[in-house]
Structure 1
């Protein structure tokens, strides 16, 4: 399997990974997105990732195919660094699960 760094020529940052996961979860393929849509995609990714630890659950998918999540339990991190560390852990779990599906 080709790593993201090999594919894109550099190591992707957290925002790039969130955007990539958001596009994957939207399931509509690669497209041109507005700045607001990119923010929404990153939010979808964050919710999807934190759903792995029971903080969010998929509530519905709207008529345009965009997923909407419901907060179940607030994310209890004391600071942004802790939240970022947990996101990175969940990103690894997310890609491991995708790899197992193949």
Structure 2
């Protein structure tokens, strides 16, 4: 059965990730996982700053799926760069949160074959 985004299925996904990774998954953890996937260096020990950068990479990746950003090469350290194509400042915090959750749900559902 196809899982579509809604709060009940979001909670199921959070529970599934918590079990798989033996953590209490939250939204930042999901963004962190997406960032790791997109960076392509796999699981390793990351510094606090790198963890923050990975969460941001997760957000940028999801906003690119929503049409607000687009990939724009890599920086000198091999991290993906993005450029704004629709104004991010036009998004309210609640709309940003909704778009990120919906995109994270779709991304992780596909990555985890749910």
TM-score range (shorter-chain normalised) is 0.7 to 0.9
5+ residue gaps, structure 1, are none
Inter-CA distance 8–96: structure 2 relative to 1 (3 Å threshold):
closer
| 2:57 maps to which of 11, 29, 44 | 44
Larger RCO, structure (CA 8 Å, separation 6 or more): 2
| 2:78 maps to which of 65, 83, 87 | 65
Shift of residue 65, structure 1, vs aligned partner: 2.1
Superimposed CA distance per residue, residues 3-61 of structure 1 (whole angstroms, 9 cap, x where no aligned partner): 21222345411111111110110000111111111111111110100111110111012
5+ residue gaps, structure 2, are 1-15
Q: TM-score, normalised by structure 1?
A: 0.82
Please give the root-mean-square deviation of Cα atoms over the aligned residues, in Å: 2.0
Q: TM-score, normalised by structure 2?
A: 0.74
**Number of residue-to-residue matches in the alignment:** 98
* Residue 66 of structure 2: aligned partner: 53
